[in-house]
Amino acid sequence: MVFFEKAMEFFQGCDTITLVGVFVGIIGLGLALWFVLSYSAAHHAGWFAGLVSVIFLLTVGLVAVGAINSSTVIYLEIALVLIITIALFSKDIRRDLFKLSLDGGPRLISEHMDLTPEELRPVIERIVKSCQTLSKSDTGALIIICPQMIADFVSESGTYMNAELSSELIETVFYEGCPLHDGAMLVMGNKIVSAGCYLPLTQKLNLPKELGTRHRAALGITENDPTVTAVVVSEETGIISVMHDGQMKRYMDQQTLTKALEVAFGIAGSEKEFWEKDYEIE
């Protein structure tokens, strides 16, 4: 019962401010550990959660036997764990913060250039028509539908076009002799913003073998920016796939592709309803 005597002694001996400090410290450290443990567990890094738990249990042990008697060591340890967590998961944290900011707050550029559903429907028809033509001739294509401005490093990596979207133009850009065919085309509203853009590739290892770099790039950008939807026409098989937020739907026909694009342009159905019916590639 040494502990209780010590604890009573501590509580009697200290003032309100110290007590509040202890309380805030315990809650603060608890919340920090909650963040570190759940964040690493959610992002497939259970080993890191385990490592942090072991480190803190070791610290408790060392403090209990009196090997550590300076609070500075503990503060340093907590700071180090937080810094390592942020460094390890910087990409995920940035993405999650971005996703969180989508739930509210002002946006710099209005979604789909403020076009009405009536104005957007012909755009969808043109994209569907060109994808079908490209699919029939086994021509590879990668179209990114951006509701808002996409990251600069993507839009500036290609050639700026700012052209009215037409199926002929899409087919021309992805024609194999065209210098811009080997990159992504960015579409905002009824405009082709740029073409031949480079995208970050997904790092997922268990993608089916038949999916090449084009599919990896499309998945990569949807993982980085959860607002965009990517449409990919396979060069080998002519299969049309649609991707959004790290998820993928393959074998799209005219009807399903139209539905996917209507969801992407926000004119029919909800993203959640459309995408949650499918599997996620882990």
Partner 1 sequence: MVKELFIKRWYFGLAGIALALLLWVAAAITA
3-state helix, strand, coil in the chain (%, to 5): 55, 15, 35
User: What's the rounded Cα separation, in Å, for the pair 159 and 186?
Assistant: 10
Examine residue 42 and tell whether it contacts partner 1 (CB under 8 A): yes
CB of 106 to partner 1, least distance (A): 19
User: In this complex, which beta carbon is closest to partner 1, that of residue 73 or of residue 201?
Assistant: 73
User: In this complex, which beta carbon is closest to partner 1, that of residue 64 or of residue 205?
Assistant: 64
Q: How far apart are the first and last CA of the chain?
A: 51
Within 8 A by CB and 6+ apart from 91, the residues are 224
CB of 191 to partner 1, least distance (A): 31
Examine residue 19 and tell whether it contacts partner 1 (CB under 8 A): no
DSSP state of 250: -
CB of 81 to partner 1, least distance (A): 11
User: In this complex, which beta carbon is closest to partner 1, that of residue 26 or of residue 109?
Assistant: 26
CB of 111 to partner 1, least distance (A): 20
Q: Which of 41, 80, 83, 109 binds partner 1 (CB under 8 A)?
A: 41
User: In this complex, which beta carbon is closest to partner 1, that of residue 34 or of residue 153?
Assistant: 34
DSSP state of 197: E
User: What's the rounded Cα separation, in Å, for the pair 224 and 149?
Assistant: 13
From the list 92-100, 157-165, 178-186, 245-253, the region that binds partner 1 by CB under 8 A is: 92-100
User: In this complex, which beta carbon is closest to partner 1, that of residue 66 or of residue 177?
Assistant: 66
Select from 110, 109, 86, 106 the least CA-distant residue to 96: 86
CB of 74 to partner 1, least distance (A): 7
Examine residue 153 and tell whether it contacts partner 1 (CB under 8 A): no
Select from 163, 184, 191, 166 the least CA-distant residue to 229: 184
From the list 20-28, 80-88, 172-180, 183-191, the region that binds partner 1 by CB under 8 A is: 20-28
Q: List C-alpha distances in Å: 115 to 20, 131, 194, 253.
A: 55, 22, 19, 25
Task: Calculate helix-pair angle for 71-88, 90-102, nearest 10 degrees.
Answer: 70
CB of 80 to partner 1, least distance (A): 15
Examine residue 39 and tell whether it contacts partner 1 (CB under 8 A): yes
44 to 73: interface string for partner 1, x by CB under 8 A: -----x---x--xx-xxx-xxxx--x-x--
Distance of alpha carbon 268 from the chain centroid: 23
